[in-house]
Amino acid sequence: MPQPPTVLPIIITGLTLGSILASQAKTISKKRFAGISLISGLLNSAYAFVLYTLSPPPTFSRAGTTFSGAGTTFSRSGAFQTGSETGFIISSFITGLIFVLAVCGIALAYARFRGKKEHEEDEVEDEKAVSDDDLEKLEDN
């Protein structure tokens, strides 16, 4: 079975992260996050279907009585056997779904963790500034 494509999930992940970084909110709702991941999985499975249809992987036969095309194999006896097209499309869907979930989830978790750290540092600096102002006022009086 060929390797599931990862081009579309990479593009969708880049667009998602770019839109998050460009926005002022720096957050994303769970529904939107799941929707983007689902769209990525569906587009990736459609892309995999097109790839598999245009250039199916080669199949080999011992007797030489089978031929292969577009993921289905027909033998001389007329029996219909399903190839690995379904598995390839399902694995491509899962790849697209998990790729966006993992990369965006890690990026959002990192931004949230880093944001808390910066927020705490800002609070400490603000407290120091307030303390310095209070000392100046006390000294003036």
Residue 89 pairs in a beta bridge with none
Whether 100 is covered by a domain: the verdict is yes
Most confident of 45-54, 69-78, 120-129: 45-54
Structure tokens at 73: 């194999």
Whether 117 is covered by a domain: the verdict is yes
CA distance 49 to 90: 10
Range of the structural domain that residue 85 is part of:
7-140
pLDDT score of 76: 47
> Element (H or E) spanning 81, and its range?
strand 80-82
Domain count, the chain: 1
Whether 126 is covered by a domain: the verdict is yes
Q: How far is CA 74 from the centre of its chain?
A: 36
Whether 44 is covered by a domain: the verdict is yes
pLDDT score of 14: 85
Whether 2 is covered by a domain: the verdict is no
Token match 């993921």: residue? 71
**pLDDT tens for each residue of 55-65:** 877 766 665 55
